[in-house]
Amino acid sequence: MELTFYWYPKCGTCRKAKNWFEEKGIDLKPIHIVEHPPSKDTIKELYQKSGLPLKKFFNTSGKKYRELGMKDKVGVLPEEELLALLSSDGMLLKRPIVTDGKRVTVGFKVEDFEAIWGND
């Protein structure tokens, strides 16, 4: 199984997640989230498959999030505008985003990765 792994190489959380996969022998197709941010349609698909609220896709601790005042916009702007914003700048996206085409995880929590990616 090869997983699509949207990440930012300078992100410590992303590196921890990558190491977790490598230790498990799971193949990754890494995609640099800043150089090649997912399209609006891709983000929408990931969001729908994840079962998570769209706000979970925002990197709330990021500088870009604060600069754009997203805290006040996330609950107010229409979904399509939020998706467009997320696709416009990879630094707005919480990372890593991992998918096998059916399942999606956002961020890195060992217990979530064990439950979702550890049993294949």
Q: Reply yes or no on whether the pLDDT at 94 is more than 80.
A: yes
Q: For 20-77, what is each residue's pLDDT tens digit?
A: 999 999 999 999 999 999 999 999 999 999 999 999 999 999 999 999 999 999 989 9
Res. 120: pLDDT tops 60: no
3-state secondary structure of 9: coil
Write out the DSSP string of 32-89: ETTTSPPPHHHHHHHHHHHTS-GGGGB-TTSHHHHHTTHHHHTTTS-HHHHHHHHHH-
Average pLDDT for 82-100? 97
Prediction pTM value? 0.94
Domains of the chain: 2-117 (3.40.30.10)
Q: With contact defined as beta carbons under 8 Å apart, do 117 and 3 qualify?
A: yes
What number of CA atoms fall less than 13 Å from residue 51's CA on the CB side? 4
